Amino acid sequence: MAAVDMRELAMEVLLSVTRDGEYSHIVLRNVLEKYQFLTKQERAFLTRITEGTLERMIEIDYIINQFSKVKVNKMKPVIRTILRSAVYQMKYMDSVPDSAVCNEAVKLAGKKGFRNLKGFVNGVLRNIARNLDNLSMPDRKDTIEWLSVTYSMPEWIVKQWLSSYEEDTVEKMLQDFLKEKPTSVRCNLNRISPEELIQKLEREGVRAERQTLLPYALWISGYDYLEALPSFRQGDFQVQDVSSMLVAEWAGPQEGDYIIDVCAAPGGKALHLADKLAGSGCVEARDLTDYKVNLIQENIRRTDAANIRAVRWDALVLDENAVGKADIVIADLPCSGLGVLGRKTDLKYKMTEETQKKLIKLQREILSTVQAYVKPGGKLIYSTCTIHRGENEENAAWFAAEYPQFELKRQRQMLPGVDPCDGFYLAQFDRKE
């Protein structure tokens, strides 16, 4: 089998994301599935370059623009991508000599049909390499630009957060997004206890430790490929952030409850609720497309959950048969995703303020539809994985005013770097008897 050029593979992943608009976690997952024969070290190298380059892209572009007459946004996509990944390697991967990074980048430019630009790539990178220790960065007094470049966050997001939170809090959030973290998982208590799962994972060569917020939440690390773990394939755990687990905790399902999760894919919250029902009741996990419903069904099959079903349904369309029948409605709705940028880093380059406004409108339309399913005395849990008052606190206030039959019992905005979890928002509404 011919050797795989890891830097070329990284370049292809990065092009798929930055040029073609695909999502990094999906592209990278598909590539790792395709190249399962790669060693653990090669897979880690590929993941590090692609995720790291995307994570630090604003800072990297700021550096390149200091040493290149052609600015980054005017470069050919392939050359721009080669330079970006090379600068990331030089600045953040000490194990790789700068000279090797430069040589490989030049070779890759030639290999991809840009022999005439090999000298340009070489010149820019060697100049950067010589000046790595005394790079010019924005003045700290320009708070927005400094935070944006230092932590590679678009300026409009920095401005938005500074309008809601203190500068110190915003910087803690930005720092946290760039930290490498273990994978957060939820133990399926109907199958295995946390203690047993920890022991099983350790036998599989995986490091596992308890999280602090919930007794069944674990951090795992040191594994190569999730789907290769028997404990995962056998449905002993679900990958899920602890903030997302709080949805089921706030919902507090009772034996025999009928629960509708209106935007459920890939099904983590719905499966958690089914687990809490311990085989009783029914959780109906709905989503818009066959693809998303299939994702839910895959997880149902893997975990062998019996009291849950996946259903294709548009959350904007009223289901007359469900009106007034649900004990609990989970409305974890499409959002800007700014709370999970540590795991889905490319979202920060795809999201815009205009899109946020459209999402607020969509969230309100869905809430207006699905509130009808909650029976008197029932609950509606509204949640998002973002940090944005318009999508969160302001939406909750709007809903409480628009639907006085519901009472806002509690709400919470969790912030990365402040709370031990992703950025996540929850609101619990109780329908009056």
Residue 257 falls inside a structural domain = yes
Query: What is the chain's length?
Result: 433
Question: Residue 306 annotated as binding?
Answer: no
Are 274 and 411 in the same domain?
yes
Residue 369 pLDDT more than 80?
yes
218 and 334 co-located in one domain? no
Which CATH number is 10's domain given?
1.10.940.10
Contact call for residues 145 and 137 (beta carbons, < 8 A):
no
Please say if the pLDDT value at position 3 is more than 80.
Answer: no
Which range marks the domain in which residue 17 is found? 6-134
Q: Looking at the structure, do residues 73 and 123 belong to the same domain, yes or no?
A: yes
Q: 385 catalytic, yes or no?
A: yes
The answer to whether residue 1 is domain-embedded is: no
Is 228 annotated to bind a ligand? Reply is no
Same domain, 304 and 404: yes
Is 265 annotated in a binding site? The answer is yes
Q: Is 263 labelled as part of a ligand binding site?
A: yes
268 is in an annotated binding site: yes
Residue 40 has pLDDT above 90, yes or no: no
314 belongs to an annotated ligand binding site: yes
Q: Do the domain assignments include residue 312?
A: yes
Q: Name the residue among 421, 416, 422, 433 with its Cα closest to residue 165.
A: 416
| pLDDT for res 2 | 53
Tell whether 232 and 370 lie within a shared domain. no
Task: Output the domain CATH number for residue 334.
Answer: 3.40.50.150
When mean pLDDT is compared across 70-79, 129-138, 279-288, 382-391, the lowest value belongs to 129-138
> Are 274 and 392 contained in the same domain?
yes
Question: What is each CA distance from 55 to 95, 257, 337, 417, in whole angstroms?
Answer: 19, 42, 15, 17
pLDDT digits (tens, 9 = 90+) for 68-112: 999 999 999 999 999 999 999 999 998 889 999 999 999 999 999
- How many domains are contained in the chain? 4
pLDDT of residue 96: 83
Q: What is the pLDDT of residues 162-205, one digit of tens each?
A: 999 999 999 999 999 999 999 999 999 999 999 999 999 999 99
Is residue 267 a known part of a binding site? yes
Over the stretch 294-319, which tens digit does the pLDDT of each residue have?
A: 999 999 999 999 999 999 999 999 99
Q: How confident is the model at residue 1 (pLDDT cuts 50, 70, 90)?
A: very low
- The single residue of 102, 187, 385, 421 carrying the catalytic annotation is 385
Are 148 and 22 members of one domain? no
Same domain flag for 235 and 246: no
Q: 414 is written with which tokens?
A: 């969790």
Residues 230, 273, single domain; the answer is: no
Q: Is 176 annotated as a binding residue?
A: no
pLDDT at 397: 98
35-39, 123-127, 354-358, 399-403: which has the minimum mean pLDDT? Answer: 35-39
Query: Looking at the structure, do residues 22 and 50 belong to the same domain, yes or no?
Result: yes
In a domain, 289, yes or no: yes
- Quick check: 318 and 346 in contact, CB under 8 A? no
Assigned domain for 72 exists: yes
- Stated pTM of the model: 0.94
Q: How many CB atoms lie within 10 A of CB 68?
A: 21
